[in-house]
Amino acid sequence: MNSTVTCELHVRLVVSSESSLPIPASLRYDTADPYTVQAAFHTGDEDSVEWVFARESLAEGLHRPTGIGDVQVWPSRSHGMDVVCIALASEEGEALLHAPAKVLESFLRRTDAVVPPGAEGGHLNLDQELSRFLAES
């Protein structure tokens, strides 16, 4: 049986060195895909931008810079608050987000309680994944 962990939070979209905009966001962790965290950034009434992050990268980014390419994560401070910077890049553009470190850390602790780091492989249904892969080929 799959379990999920969710979190609603506000991140800040950095517009310039002195300006940022609040963006509501949702994080979702599902034991059916134990290595990833799905994120939805709600940019309008019904619009959202979705990204998938490696859970390990988010956890590491709480303490040190990590990631290359499209997703980079690192700890920082903004307006006297500990934040996790998340830099995103795609063909459509780039964005720098500041997520509250305490909220992200609490969410990741809850995911660790469901699937401890290093135990993700025990939650994969390899037969089901192989069948799905072959059906897509």
Which structural domain, as residue segments, surrounds residue 112? 4-136
Beta bridge partners, 98, equal: 12, 85
The per-residue pLDDT for 128 is 62
Q: What is the pTM of this model?
A: 0.85
Q: What is the pLDDT of residues 52-107, one digit of tens each?
A: 999 999 999 999 999 988 999 999 999 899 999 999 999 989 999 999 999 999 99
- Work out how many domains the chain is built from and give that number: 1
- Here the CATH number for the domain that contains residue 116 is 2.30.31.20
Selection from 39, 52, 40, 34 nearest residue 122 by Cα: 34
Structural contact between residues 85 and 97, judged by C-beta atoms closer than 8 angstroms = yes
What pLDDT shows up at residue 17?
Answer: 84
Quick one: pLDDT band at residue 115, thresholds 50, 70, 90?
Answer: confident
pLDDT digit string, tens, across residues 33-52: 899 999 999 987 788 999 99
Partners of 97 in the beta sheet?
A: 13, 86
CA dist., res. 107 & res. 4, Å (int): 11
